[in-house]
Amino acid sequence: MFDFEFFAPTRVVFGRGVEARTGRLLKELGVSRVLIHYGGGSVVRSGLLDRVAASLDEAGIAHTQLGGVVPNPRLSKVREGTELARQFGAELILAVGGGSVIDSSKAIAYALAEPEYDVWDLYAQKRTAKACFPVACVLTIAAAGSEMSNSSVITNEETGEKRGCRNNLCRLKLAIMNPELTATLPAYQTAAGCTDIMMHTLERYFTQGGNMELTDRIAEGLLRTVMKNALILQDDPANYEARAEVMWASSLSHNDLTGLGADGMDFVSHGLEHELGGMFDVTHGAGLSAVWPSWARYVYRDCLSRFVQFAVNVMDVTPKADDGETALAGIAALEDFFRSIHMPVTLKELGVEPTEEQILAMAASCARGAGGKKGTAKVLYEADMAAIYRMAL
């Protein structure tokens, strides 16, 4: 087992109706002025925003609101939110929504804490944050895991770059998680969310070394649980137990738990998807399923024992005489699962058909964003990334 540090400081309050306690829980954090940040309107239509605002009123917490965060959240909205929060004197950003709203909130929180710098510098990897305002959330979709992760991802619409920033300073103080709130999700978003949850563990699973028996069993259990419940939600979207399993998996899959003791994290599929998100504005989880099978077939020989273990322990493949065949059967089985929940497994199915010029631009940007190379299953360079995009067409 490789040495590791595990830091999961987020207070999680989980269950039916817990959003009614938002005001009191924030009060316990000692804040009295809050910016409520939300997305394109689902929380308005469901009445959640009003309920959360009422809970803050009851607790005597002053608040202002800013909606309009879009999936693949934009830098311009971060700047607008920063200005509003500053004028209002907000002491905490409360995200009411999913990964996009939480990430926009984290970026605002960084900007508020260090007003002398341009917040985009953090995402362009030009500097490291030294401070961050507190952030909390009322989660409405199980997917990105931003509620417990140290990451946020912002798109600079001026440059078309979608970039992540990882830093423990942005980990949420409080995550309020009621699985019932996710029952209004369109089926496509539920499935894309389940895909993203699985991918956060898969990105940690395909590594080169380290004995991590317990971590592996946690990872495999999480993957199997998400697959099982994603299928249940296809037919029964209001199933509370399935919603609850998936929501908790969302947090555990990206709070580092499922990779502890490994020799690193791969995250190449995420890197490739972020370029698709920046250029074509695709749904994150769907972009991931569209590139993963091609990535897997490109790298599996260099990480064979892990792909075999995955095939047998997660996808229930009966081992074949040849390890390569077993690995490929595992990849095909996950591809079939993605199809079964109506997720794309090629770029065409995703609805994008990049030109060769666009492929080269995405590969160059992906490699540049990663400092030239990326990956633990197999270290990949710009030419490899372009090859995977071509395989995924």
Q: In sequence order, which ranges of the chain are alpha helices (DSSP H)?
A: 22-28, 42-45, 48-58, 75-88, 99-113, 120-123, 187-205, 213-235, 240-253, 268-280, 284-299, 304-313, 323-340, 347-350, 356-369, 382-392
- Token pair 């990451």: residue: 151
147 near Zn ion (CB under 5 A): no
Q: Is 179 in the site for ligand NZQ (CB under 6 A)?
A: no
Q: How many residues bind ligand NZQ (CB under 6 A)?
A: 35
Q: Which stretch binds Zn ion (CB under 5 A): 15-23, 146-154, 192-200, 300-308?
A: 192-200
- Residue 341's alpha-carbon distances to 192, 230, 285, 311, in angstroms, are 9, 7, 12, 19
* Residue 61 near residue 108 (C-beta atoms within 8 A): no
DSSP state, residue 132: -
Which residue reads 């990882």 in tokens? 166
**How many helical (H) and strand (E) elements, i.e. helices and strands, does the chain have?**
16, 8
Residue 113: both structure tokens together: 């804490």
Contact flag: residue 269 with ligand NZQ (CB under 6 A): no
Q: Which does 271 bind (CB under 5 to 8 A by kind): ligand NZQ, Zn ion, none?
A: none
- 350: contact with ligand NZQ by CB under 6 A: no
Structure tokens at 164: 């992540």
Residues 101, 114: Cα–Cα separation, whole Å = 20
Of 25, 31, 35, 42, the one binding ligand NZQ (CB under 6 A) is 42
Which residue in 37, 74, 254, 378 binds ligand NZQ (CB under 6 A)?
A: 254
Least spacing, CB of residue 155 vs ligand NZQ, in Å: 7
- If one asks whether residue 101 binds ligand NZQ (CB under 6 A), the answer comes out as yes
Question: Does 189 engage in binding with ligand NZQ (CB under 6 A)?
Answer: yes
Residue at token pair 């995009």 = 389
Among 25, 52, 92, 97, binds ligand NZQ (CB under 6 A): 97
Contact between 140 and ligand NZQ by CB under 6 A: the answer reads yes
Angle at 292 between CA 234 and CA 249, to 5 degrees: 50
Binding residues among 273-302 for ligand NZQ as defined by CB under 6 A:
277, 284
Binding of Zn ion by 196 (CB under 5 A) = yes
Task: Tell me how far, at minimum, the Cβ of 122 lies from ligand NZQ, in Å.
Answer: 13
Which among 9-17, 146-154, 313-321, 357-365 is the span making contact with ligand NZQ, rule CB under 6 A?
A: 146-154
In the complex with ligand NZQ, the residue whose CB is nearer, 281 or 302, is 281
Going 160 to 164 to 170 to 176, the CA torsion angle's sign is: positive
Residue written as tokens 């002491």? 91
Question: Of 118-126, 189-197, 242-250, 340-348, which part binds Zn ion (CB under 5 A)?
Answer: 189-197
Tokens found for residue 200:
């956060």
What angle in degrees, to the nearest 10, is found between the helix axes of 187-205 and 213-235?
170
Could you say whether residue 145 binds ligand NZQ (CB under 6 A)? yes
In whole angstroms, how close is the CB of 219 to Zn ion at the nearest point? 15
**Residues near ligand NZQ (CB under 6 A):** 39-43, 71-73, 97-101, 103, 140-141, 143-146, 149, 151-153, 181-182, 184-185, 189, 193, 196, 254, 270, 277, 284
**Residues near Zn ion (CB under 5 A):** 196
